[in-house]
Amino acid sequence: MQSKKESRLNAMTVDVEDYFQVSAFEDVISQDGWDFMRLRVGENTHRLLDLFAEHGVKSTFFTLGWVARRCPEVIKRIVDEGHELASHGLAHQRATTMTEAEFRDDVSTSKAILEDIGGVKVDGYRAPSFSVNESNTWVYEVLSELGFTYSSSTYPIEHDLYGVPHWPRFKHQRPEGITEIPIPTVRNNDTNTGIGGGGYFRLYPYWLSRRRIERFFKQESAPYSFYFHPWEIDAQQPRINNAPLKSRFRHYVNLSRMEGKLVKLLKDYRWGTMKQAYELE
């Protein structure tokens, strides 16, 4: 493995949402009930900011407008410490479940909240659950109209909840004027395998995740990007016991090991924001 100093700059990203807002639980926890849930995202995001400061890492925080309203001090700290503030929509509603008008209202409201609290222009967007595909490419027109410059909303893999495996694997310019940056993959027998983070990173031992990242570096010259959520370092979060078994497994597997793995990742590679790693500034 190359030394950290010699390796390419990669993008560290955090999807700022709480444990009860994930798509896997949307059928058992309605948005109307969110205000009655114990909020943990603020404390967990502060823990991540502490970790990033300790290891000299800058990150892009794709943040829900709903969270920003309730945790403004977190938004201000993200900006004050030199990280990039970006949008994850208003209330974690998948783009595939909204009309164009609903999407415009959701994303414009989120952008306004983040920019008002953070005092900076928000240029980046990530759709909840990577929910951009052939059915809603109008998303890019809306993002362009609203003043966004880039998106990281596609994952070119086969997955039961999302994925556009035949779409581009690397940074590309959309005809609508938006730069799309897919979640990274490696090629195995003409099939894309996801290596960008999330549940796979928690499920596999760290040595295997690092091997997959190293394979990406050998195959490709593009930056690597990693995504995860504040709730993934929170092994003490309340359990949603009435959720489907598959959803519970995906959500809770190896939560207690995530922070240790993350620290290794921060040490092993060079990290910056999406704008820095993909030269969007």
Q: Residues 138-185: pLDDT tens digits?
A: 999 999 999 999 999 998 876 555 557 778 899 999 999 999 999 999
- Ordered structural domains, the chain, with CATH: 9-277 (3.20.20.370)
Q: What is the pLDDT of residue 54?
A: 98
pTM: 0.95
Mean pLDDT along residues 246-273 = 96
Residue 166 is predicted with a pLDDT of 76
Question: Average per-residue pLDDT in the chain?
Answer: 93
Q: What is the pLDDT of residues 185-224, one digit of tens each?
A: 988 878 888 889 988 899 999 999 999 999 999 999 999 9
Digit-coded pLDDT (tens) for 105-151: 999 999 999 999 999 999 999 999 999 998 999 999 999 999 999 99
- pLDDT of 60 > 80? The answer is yes
Structure-token pair, residue 186: 């490696």
Q: What is the pLDDT of residues 28-48, one digit of tens each?
A: 999 999 999 999 999 999 999
Cβ atoms of 110 and 90 within 8 Å: the answer is yes
CA distance 168 to 172: 8
Contact 95, 136 (CB under 8 A): yes
**Comparing C-alpha atoms, which of 186, 187, 203, 204 is closest to residue 195?**
186
What would the mean pLDDT of 244-252 be, rounded to a whole number?
92
Residue 200: the pLDDT is 86
Q: Does the pLDDT at position 5 exceed 50?
A: no
In the prediction, which pLDDT does 190 show?
A: 80
Unique residue bearing structure tokens 């415009």: 104
Q: Which runs of consecutive H residues, i.e. helices, occur in the chain?
A: 41-55, 65-70, 72-80, 100-118, 138-145, 199-203, 206-219, 245-252, 255-268, 274-277
pLDDT cut 90: percent of the chain above it: 85
Q: Which of 240, 199, 250, 243 is nearest to 19 (CA)?
A: 240
Pairing of strands 191-194, 185-188: antiparallel
**Partners of 85 in the β-ladder:** 61
